[in-house]
Amino acid sequence: MSNGGGASSSTHLLDFLEEPIPGVGTYDDFHTIDWVREKCKDRERHRKINSKKKESAWEFTKSLYDAWSGWLVVTLTGLASGALAGLIDIAADWMNDIKEGVCLSAMWFNHEQCCWTSNETTFAERDKCPQWKSWAELILGQAEGPGSYIMNYFMYIYWALSFAFLAVCLVKVFAPYACGSGIPEIKTILSGFIIRGYLGKWTLMIKTITLVLAVASGLSLGKEGPLVHVACCCGNIFSYLFPKYSKNEAKKREVLSAASAAGVSVAFGAPIGGVLFSLEEVSYYFPLKTLWRSFFAALVAAFVLRSINPFGNSRLVLFYVEYHTPWRRKSTRFGKYPVLEVILVAAITAVVAFPNPYTRQNTSELIKELFTDCGPLESSQLCQYRSQMNGSRAFTDNPNRPAGPGVYAAMWQLCLALIFKIIMTIFTFGLKVPSGLFIPSMAIGAIAGRIVGIAVEQLAYYHHDWFLFKEWCEVGVDCITPGLYAMVGAAACLGGVTRMTVSLVVIVFELTGGLEYIVPLMAAVMTSKWVGDAFGREGIYEAHIRLNGYPFLDAKEEFTHTTLAREVMRPRRSDPPLAVLTQDDLTVEELQAIINETSYNGFPVIVSKESQRLVGFALRRDITIAIENARRKQEGIVLNSRVYFTQHAPTLPADSPRPLKLRSILDMSPFTVTDHTPMEIVVDIFRKLGLRQCLVTHNGILLGIITKKNILEHLEEVKQQVEPLIEGH
């Protein structure tokens, strides 16, 4: 190739430039990918492998590996997510119990496991097994009395603060991306944004460890949202084993969609709900093939988790539930001191939570208790009704149960717990530790629901002749189930926070396993969505995305304005003219000048300054790389060299330097719309095809450009002009 020197304009010799230039076609950090280009790249790769596969056994094996890599990567992701979720469950459980005491027979047993090995078989005695020692028993040698209460209180706070401190320090020092739930960022990444390191191995490792610490510290946060992030990290890491996925940002996002389904699946033990969550809430581009693979990943993950689940729940992890997104407050004084902030919130949480049994216990267990109906085996305080008859069956079957002192006490404690949870959850959202919002919101809803349920039940008891209760409550049949009220409340609260609809109903349905509750659940979720929408149509993810300023084009919001493409395109009337490249009369120097003077990500290429007809589009990054590459590898390319994007080199004077052919980096099929195209269509095209930019023409003449950023700005503008209307539409 070295004879390519000299000023010859022979295109033949220059054709080695048609070889892919390294770096062309990759993306910078915090940039948006080009879905169309990525999908074309993938099909090209696929065709290459297919055409080669008959050449040799090795090529055939490679093609098989390629064909099956999609299933392999989702299987691996499912396995890893399930295993990690199990690990996190066990560790968080153990550390949560460490706050209260240790198991003398085996340090690594949590409270429940410790007592399993003891021989106490009666239900009530189970919690008080001799092997399990509270800190007061260990240090002071006595289990009862105010001294030991204070000792236990102190140790509880000590451990809570230690865990919180460790968690926030680890996040701050090693992986700042590990904080929060990660769902808004994953949504943004899936829509085509690049955030390097957000799904890397460091984030995975630190997030796993700090998630355990954060949950164990007793902060009002959940582990379900972060589990989605953990699963996506697994998906991203495993996709590096397969060139099909590691080298293609669009294909990688298919894996991530499946991984997020696996994450929800292990968080709630709800594989179908996980797939619907991925479809409804998280994913942007979701082909049917991904639906099927997501379902598979979700099932594998749920299966693995069930296999390693040491508690033997047949329903996977029923009500070891919770999750979701953080809301980072941007303007608190403490925001600048994340460690101090975490310690402070953890301290307040620990101090206030300990005395109230409903706030001290694990939130997931609290939800489980609230959902559970009072049966004969239930020892909970919530079930201490005064029994009217003396038979044990009366406890279960009598529909009219007057509340006993236990229920009254529980009501007070629940009311206090409700206030505490609401306040602490608001303040915990934005802490710099892994934190989800799902369990806390469910807990708030469940507490409120249970309170209402018990109130209605007592109403029904004392006023059983009211026409309402008369119709509903047949004799001998349970007519009010406070547990169902709690479940409906939990779903409604979560629905209001996240604005999930179908996936939420399916998740709760899978958790509780009763088709018969679907109707009240659906009514509750629908009502809470409508009430929420009256205040603003954004769920907490969208709000978070907007607060962080991510370039996310929401597919759910409809664009209802009458603007045309020419009103949104750049340049605007007052702007300088559009920076364009002509196809064959620029020099390298002029090209570099244009690039240096502007900061655009790409430039339209036109036939000539006179005709302004559009030829194609070239990306800034590709031009820079191509010029550098040519000056390094091709002799004769000087500042004065002519740059051409055409198929054949322009005819040049004999003494002019060798020209530079850049056709290989020219996108010859840029998307165009006419200036009269309504913006609603343009927005639709951007959403459905995942475009980064679109050129605007009038009668074939280039007028301007619309980028994703322009669209987001325009959406913001029209939103401020017209006050948001509540539309059932």
Among 78, 222, 235, 271, binds a second copy (CB under 8 A): 271
Among 104, 456, 689, 718, binds a second copy (CB under 8 A): 689
What is the C-alpha to C-alpha distance for residues 527 and 493, in angstroms, rounded to an integer?
10
Which x/- pattern, by CB under 8 A, does the window 386-425 give for a second copy? ----------------------------------------
Residues 657-676 that bind a second copy (CB under 8 A): 668-670, 672-674, 676
CB of 358 to a second copy, least distance (A): 30
Among 471, 597, 655, 727, binds a second copy (CB under 8 A): 727
CB 233 within 8 A of CB 203: yes
Which x/- pattern, by CB under 8 A, does the window 570-599 give for a second copy? ------------------------------
CB of 345 to a second copy, least distance (A): 35
Burial of residue 476, with CB atoms counted within 10 A of its CB: 0-12 exposed, 13-18 middle, 19 or more buried:
exposed
Quick one: how far is CA 410 from the chain centroid?
36
Residues 526-545 that bind a second copy (CB under 8 A): 526
Q: Closer CB to a second copy, residue 46 or residue 201?
A: 46
> What are all long-range contacts of 583-587, with beta carbons under 8 Å and residues at least 24 apart?
583/607, 583/608, 583/615, 583/644, 583/645, 583/646, 584/642, 584/644, 584/645, 584/646, 584/650, 585/642, 585/650, 586/642, 586/643, 587/639, 587/640, 587/641, 587/642, 587/643
Among 16, 701, 713, 719, binds a second copy (CB under 8 A): 701
Residues 229-268 that bind a second copy (CB under 8 A): none
Among 173, 475, 534, 725, binds a second copy (CB under 8 A): 725
Looking up tokens 């027979």, which residue turns up?
A: 105
What percent of the chain is helix, strand and coil (3-state, nearest 5)?
A: 60, 5, 35
What end-to-end distance do the CA atoms of the chain give, in Å?
65
CB 18 within 8 A of CB 228: no
Q: How many CB atoms lie within 10 A of CB 180?
A: 29
Among 9, 384, 697, 710, binds a second copy (CB under 8 A): 697
Among 46, 126, 328, 464, binds a second copy (CB under 8 A): 46
Q: Report the helix count and the strand count for the chain, using DSSP H and E.
A: 29, 12
Q: Which two tokens stand for residue 95?
A: 């550390």
Q: Is 729 in the site for a second copy (CB under 8 A)?
A: yes
CB of 370 to a second copy, least distance (A): 23
Q: Closer CB to a second copy, residue 300 or residue 345?
A: 300
CB 230 within 8 A of CB 81: yes
Q: Give the binding range for a second copy (CB under 8 A) out of 39-47, 91-99, 129-137, 153-161.
A: 39-47
Q: Is 680 in the site for a second copy (CB under 8 A)?
A: yes
| C-alpha dist (Å) from residue 432 to 345, 412, 428, 498 | 11, 33, 9, 21
Among 2, 562, 599, 721, binds a second copy (CB under 8 A): 562
Nearest to 286 by CA among 96, 442, 579, 503: 503
CB of 618 to a second copy, least distance (A): 14
What is the C-alpha to C-alpha distance for residues 96 and 212, in angstroms, rounded to an integer?
9
Q: Closer CB to a second copy, residue 174 or residue 303?
A: 303
Among 193, 238, 242, 296, binds a second copy (CB under 8 A): 296
Q: Is 502 in the site for a second copy (CB under 8 A)?
A: yes
Q: Closer CB to a second copy, residue 20 or residue 197?
A: 20
What is the C-alpha to C-alpha distance for residues 500 and 727, in angstroms, rounded to an integer?
18
What is the C-alpha to C-alpha distance for residues 135 and 132, in angstroms, rounded to an integer?
10
Among 199, 272, 497, 662, binds a second copy (CB under 8 A): 272
Looking up tokens 């002519």, which residue turns up?
A: 642
Give the interface size with a second copy as a residue count (CB under 8 A).
77
Q: Is 513 in the site for a second copy (CB under 8 A)?
A: yes
What is the C-alpha to C-alpha distance for residues 499 and 487, in angstroms, rounded to an integer?
17
User: Angle at the Cα of 691 (from 688 to 693), degrees rounded to 5?
Assistant: 140
Q: Closer CB to a second copy, residue 366 or residue 711?
A: 711
Residues 304-323 that bind a second copy (CB under 8 A): 314-316
CB 31 within 8 A of CB 281: no
Q: Is 47 in the site for a second copy (CB under 8 A)?
A: yes
Q: What would the DSSP string read from start to end of 349-367? A: HHHHHTTSHHHHS-HHHHH
Q: Give the binding range for a second copy (CB under 8 A) out of 200-208, 416-424, 440-448, 685-693.
A: 685-693
Q: Closer CB to a second copy, residue 512 or residue 710?
A: 512
CB of 551 to a second copy, least distance (A): 20
CB of 22 to a second copy, least distance (A): 23
**3-class DSSP state of 309:** coil
Among 211, 522, 649, 705, binds a second copy (CB under 8 A): 522
Q: Is 516 in the site for a second copy (CB under 8 A)?
A: yes
Q: How many CB atoms lie within 10 A of CB 314?
A: 7
- Sign for the pseudo-dihedral over CA of 218, 224, 225, 231: positive
Chain length of the chain: 729
CB of 729 to a second copy, least distance (A): 5
Which x/- pattern, by CB under 8 A, does the window 57-76 give for a second copy? -------x-xxx-xx-----
Q: Closer CB to a second copy, residue 506 or residue 545?
A: 506
Nearest to 326 by CA among 413, 412, 220: 220
Looking at this protein, which amino acid is placed at residue 541? Answer: Y
What is the C-alpha to C-alpha distance for residues 446 and 361, in angstroms, rounded to an integer?
15
CB of 35 to a second copy, least distance (A): 9
Bond before 571 cis per omega within 30 degrees? yes
Q: Closer CB to a second copy, residue 648 or residue 688?
A: 688
In eight-state DSSP terms, residue 279 is I
What is the C-alpha to C-alpha distance for residues 476 and 344, in angstroms, rounded to an integer?
52
Nearest to 424 by CA among 547, 342, 531: 342
CB of 68 to a second copy, least distance (A): 5
Q: Give the binding range for a second copy (CB under 8 A) out of 187-195, 544-552, 632-640, 682-690.
A: 682-690
Q: Closer CB to a second copy, residue 121 or residue 562?
A: 562
CB of 360 to a second copy, least distance (A): 32
Residues 436-465 that bind a second copy (CB under 8 A): none
Q: Closer CB to a second copy, residue 343 or residue 702?
A: 702
Q: Closer CB to a second copy, residue 180 or residue 274?
A: 274
Residues 596-625 that bind a second copy (CB under 8 A): 607, 611, 613-616
Q: Is 555 in the site for a second copy (CB under 8 A)?
A: yes
Among 6, 681, 717, 724, binds a second copy (CB under 8 A): 681
Among 80, 209, 291, 493, binds a second copy (CB under 8 A): 291
What is the C-alpha to C-alpha distance for residues 362 and 346, in angstroms, rounded to an integer?
15
